[in-house]
Amino acid sequence: MLDIPSEHKSLFQLIGEAAESIDQQAYVVGGYVRDHYLGRLDETEITDIDFVTVGSGIRLAQKVAEKLQTDQVTIFKQFGTAQVKHSEFDLEFVGARKESYRRQSRKPIVEDGSLKDDQLRRDLTINALSWSLNPNTFGVLHDPFHGIRDLEKMIIRTPIDPEKTFDDDPLRMMRAVRFATQLNFTIEPKTRAAIKKMAHRLSIISRERILDELNKIVMSPKPSTGFKHLFETGLLNEFFPEMVNLAGVDEKNGQRHKDNFWHTLKVLDNTAQKSDNLWLRWAAIMHDIAKPPTKKFVKGVGWTFHGHDAIGAKWVPRIFKRLGLPMDERMRYVQKLVALHLRPIALVSEEVSDSAVRRLIFEAGDDIDDLMTLCRADITSKNEWRVKKYRNNFDKVEKKIAEVEEKDRIRNWKNPISGEEVMNVLDIRPGPMVGRVKDRIKDAILDGKISNNYEEAYDLLLRIKSEMEKQN
């Protein structure tokens, strides 16, 4: 008997009875079965469960919906599939099929097939596991490609020849890397070699499908594992060459710089340990992205990367657009953190003015805490004394930020004087002058020349008016 939650078992038995009533065999297949044997059912949020039937998936879905007394059935006639919504589950039904592919498309030619045919088309052995649900064979495991053995050995492997698997559907290469990363499994040598050989085939896959797998890698417990696989197999160069260009070390006069690719992966892992924010993790990926074009050797100083923060911020929209990432406030958040990631460490000196701290708080706004998380993640030295020194420095910076913010209330600051008030007091029309006056008031507050309140801001506006009248 299956050792699974009772509500799941009852549902599976109902589906098996529905299949039996229309003389079809039904099986639960893929992720649910895999996660059961990994002992992950309790820790993963199960929402989608896949079922295969020898016969019509649509007919079985309709019969299951009838037994569940629900009309929440969505039929995809073109694909021969159907979805039934029940409780928190999306139950996906498909008829067993065999597939063949044309070389320049990942859309298969589909024919009806047996359970074995259906398992042959699965991407990985660990995803080809299935249980029978019919009453007389309920819970019987079908494991034709030794997926249980691969789970025990923690191996990622394809059911059939990996080159054929990846040639048919190149997205499976990204999925192999993703599962290896999420499960902390090893990619079996023959499968890994095939990914390296077939990496160029990723070009026929849509950026949306690639990005979906990439973001799952980014959100894994240790994302560097996935990027290491992507880099070493050549997959990363197919869609993110800027990141590949970070790799490598130059030497001049006996001086070397750190490898910025592996440094970036360490920063990403450090960030992942502290936050599940996908976009903060993307900021970690992008923070040094413009180091290659800004790299310069300065005699007496060594290797420098001046301006990589500003140039990197300019690159963010272009890279986001090409990868299919959102071009909205999430992109602007990443852009902001890339632009500001060097600023906090510059505030360590005791002589740093409050105005410099105010400007950082003003520019970072509500993202100041995420910025500090990124900055701390950027400490990757193997020298324990240096790490301790940098951490102590950031403690000082955070203390300064807290003190200035408590006193001046600058976070998410808005100008006390509106544009309309500027026009009324100065008797001017809309135009650049309004913006210049508001900037002068803003700078006076950030530089500490006046307090952050309406009264002092209005007094400054009156002084500006007096100056303008004298000039005229």
Tell me what pLDDT residue 202 has: 95
At 302, list the tokens.
């060594």
Sequential DSSP letters for 124-154: SGGGS-EEE-SGGGTT-EE-TT-HHHHHHHT
In terms of Cα–Cα distance, which of 103, 101, 60 is closest to 80?
60
The pLDDT confidence band at residue 466, using thresholds 50, 70 and 90, is: confident
Arithmetic mean of pLDDT, 101-118: 59
Tokens 């995420």 identify what position?
Answer: 370
**What residue type is 322 in one-letter code?**
R
Q: What is the mean pLDDT of the chain?
A: 89
Tell me what pLDDT residue 331 has: 98
Q: The pTM is what?
A: 0.85
In terms of Cα–Cα distance, which of 90, 31, 48, 102 is closest to 65?
90
Q: How far apart are CA 93 and CA 24, in angstroms?
A: 13
Arithmetic mean of pLDDT, 180-186: 97
Tell me what pLDDT residue 383 has: 78
Tell me what pLDDT residue 111 has: 53
Does the pLDDT at position 354 exceed 60?
yes
Does the pLDDT at position 119 exceed 80?
no
What does the CA dihedral 286, 289, 291, 292 come to, rounded to 10 degrees? 170
In terms of Cα–Cα distance, which of 181, 167, 308, 158 is closest to 232?
181
Does the pLDDT at position 241 exceed 60?
yes
Tell me what pLDDT residue 416 has: 84
Instruction: Kindly calculate the radius of gyration of the chain based on its CA atoms and give it in whole angstroms.
Output: 29
Arithmetic mean of pLDDT, 275-299: 95
Tell me what pLDDT residue 99 has: 55
Arithmetic mean of pLDDT, 414-425: 87
For residue 34, how far is the Cα from the chain centroid?
Answer: 24
Contacts with 112 (C-beta within 8 Å, 6 or more apart), sequence order: 95, 96, 97, 98
Mean pLDDT is lowest, of 151-155, 186-190, 400-404, 437-441, for: 400-404
Does the pLDDT at position 351 exceed 70?
no
Q: Which residue segments constitute the domains of the chain, with CATH numbers given?
A: 6-153 (3.30.460.10), 154-239 (1.10.110.30), 419-471 (no CATH)
Does the pLDDT at position 400 exceed 60?
yes
At 194, list the tokens.
């095939």
Does the pLDDT at position 126 exceed 90?
yes
Q: Which helix (H) or strand (E) holds 398?
A: helix 384-408
In terms of Cα–Cα distance, which of 152, 108, 103 is closest to 129?
152
Q: How far apart are CA 140 and CA 128, in angstroms?
A: 14
Contacts with 221 (C-beta within 8 Å, 6 or more apart), sequence order: 182, 184, 272
Q: How far apart are CA 328 and CA 396, in angstroms?
A: 33
The pLDDT confidence band at residue 392, using thresholds 50, 70 and 90, is: confident
Contacts with 154 (C-beta within 8 Å, 6 or more apart), sequence order: 183, 184, 185, 186
Angle between helices 260-274 and 224-233 (to 10 degrees): 150
Tell me what pLDDT residue 213 has: 98
In terms of Cα–Cα distance, which of 153, 235, 213 is closest to 187?
153
Tell me what pLDDT residue 168 has: 87
At 463, list the tokens.
């002084």
Please write the tens of the pLDDT for every residue from 5-30: 888 999 999 999 999 999 999 999 98
Q: Which helix (H) or strand (E) holds 111?
A: strand 108-112
In percent, the amount of the chain with pLDDT more than 70 equals 94
List residues bridging with 29 in a β-sheet.
50, 130
Please write the tens of the pLDDT for every residue from 316-337: 999 999 999 999 999 999 999 9
The pLDDT confidence band at residue 408, using thresholds 50, 70 and 90, is: low
